[in-house]
Amino acid sequence: MKPFRELISFEEAKKIIMEKTKEMERVETVKLLEARNRVLAEDIVAELNVPGFKRAAVDGYAVIAEDTYGASHIKPKKLKIVGKIFAGEVARGKLNHGEAMEIATGAALPKGSDAVVMVENTEKVGNEIKILKPVYPGANVSKEDEDIKKGEVVLKKGEILNPAKIGVLAALGMESVEVYEKANVIIIPTGDELVKVGEKLEYGKIYDINSYTLTTLLKPYANVKINEITKDSKEEIERILENGKDMDYIIFSGGSSVGEKDILADVLIKKGELFFHGIALKPGKPTIFGRFGNALVFGMPGYPTSCLTNAYVLLLPSIKKRCRINEKEIVKEAILEEKIVSTIGRHQIYPVMLKNGRAYPVFKESGAITSMSRANGYIEIPANVEYVEKGSTVKVHLL
């Protein structure tokens, strides 16, 4: 065994990670149906008006507004019905004074008309309608550029594409869009004790949990590849680092502690860059952060709760910055339902279940994945706090 070189504070660790994380510059073109949650790499300037024609905003009758002036329930105006228009159809001919056309919501106005009378304000008698309320020019009509005006910047570079924004692109007839690439990530499960999920589990071995939790967490933002389980050897880790040096991230699960087989930090010192090894944090003390070639390297703790907790608070913010995802963290205040005893000198990330404004501690131990499976948030306990009393108001960071 060998001691950690130096523990840095949780805040210092976050600062170093974010300073070393550079925003993505690579771009790619993707189909609209593949663009959700991607980040625009260009301003979108409308090349056409939407809807592109004057259309009825309500069901009713297309009219010349002047023909309705003075209409009332007592003294209605009568107009001849000369046609019917449904959405997608174009009326034949031009509407003349004294005439009206029945029109459905979304249908294009016939030439000559300039307003729509709502069906509720009419009374149909044979092939005529009685107008019971006057309208003004433009009433109940959507202009040709009502939604989008040609030449308008409708979406800006850096915006995250959600269903509504993808709808805007579709309205402009765009089949694809230019976005920033996702981060390329490779996850390296290490440890002689690990067994691939699906294989027979021998006594003293455990299944590889961390590859699944990390991949699931990162997949919305990254192209994630899982490496085969790697033995704890200097030669194997050097080979993996060399092969992955052009990735955006190389993430080791395990191999970050201080046992005689935990050699990732030594390899980074000799052949890459080691920014820190060890954080005054619980769980997650043995976390490693460095660089090899172009790739940022994370050495995550092997214990499942430690690994996933650190991934939420240290790795995920870096991935999001790399991918230009600027999402605001959701934090809610709650009443703590049980006393929590912390560890003086180490900042603690403590998983909780937030329910009806109350926070219930669910942490078991760093090796228990159920500590996180039962949590929907976490609280932070500063390094100089020994305990948090039941009934205290705490800030819950939602997962």
Following DSSP, what letter does each residue of 238-264 receive, concatenated?
A: HHHHHHTTTSSEEEEES--SSSTT--H
Work out the average pLDDT over 224-240: 89
Contact present, 182 and 60 (Cβ < 8 Å): no
Domain 55-142 part of CATH 2.170.190.11: yes
Prior bond to 51 cis, omega within 30?
Answer: yes
- Predicted confidence at residue 368, as pLDDT, reads 65
How many other C-beta atoms lie within 10 A of the C-beta of residue 356?
6
Give the integer Cα–Cα distance in Å for 24 and 185: 13
**262 falls in which pLDDT band (50, 70, 90)?**
low
- Predicted confidence at residue 57, as pLDDT, reads 95
Task: Pick one of 2.40.340.10, 3.90.1010.10, 2.30.29.30, 2.40.110.10 as the CATH number of 331-398.
Answer: 2.40.340.10
Give the integer Cα–Cα distance in Å for 281 and 252: 18
For the stretch 119-143, pLDDT in tens is: 999 999 999 999 999 999 999 999 9
| CA 53 to chain CA centroid, nearest Å | 35
Work out the average pLDDT over 75-86: 95
Domain 10-25+181-322 part of CATH 3.40.980.10: yes
**258 falls in which pLDDT band (50, 70, 90)?**
very low
Residue spans of the domains in the chain: they are 10-25+181-322, 28-50+156-179, 55-142, 331-398
Q: Encode 53-89: b = buried (16+ Cβ within 10 Å), e = exposed.
A: ebbbebbbbbbbbebbeebeeeebbebebbbebeeee
Task: Pick one of 3.90.105.10, 3.40.630.30, 3.30.1330.10, 1.10.3720.10 as the CATH number of 28-50+156-179.
Answer: 3.90.105.10
For the stretch 280-319, pLDDT in tens is: 999 888 899 999 999 999 999 888 888 999 999 999 999 9
For the stretch 367-395, pLDDT in tens is: 667 778 889 999 999 999 999 999 999 99
- Predicted confidence at residue 113, as pLDDT, reads 96
User: Residue 336, SS3?
Assistant: strand
Take residue 379 and report the two structure tokens written for it: 């609280």
User: Residue 311, SS3?
Assistant: helix
Same fold yes or no, 28-50+156-179 and 55-142: no
CA nearest 153: which of 45, 51, 47, 48?
45
For the stretch 176-186, pLDDT in tens is: 999 999 999 99
Q: What percent of the chain has pLDDT over 70?
A: 96
- Predicted confidence at residue 335, as pLDDT, reads 97
**11 falls in which pLDDT band (50, 70, 90)?**
very high
Between CA 128 and CA 135, with CA 129 as vertex, the angle to 5 degrees is 140
Contact present, 190 and 255 (Cβ < 8 Å): yes
- Predicted confidence at residue 239, as pLDDT, reads 92
Work out the average pLDDT over 9-32: 97
- Predicted confidence at residue 1, as pLDDT, reads 41
- Predicted confidence at residue 261, as pLDDT, reads 42
Prior bond to 283 cis, omega within 30?
Answer: yes
Phi, psi of 242 (to 5 degrees): -65, -45
Paired residues of 226 in beta bridges: 187
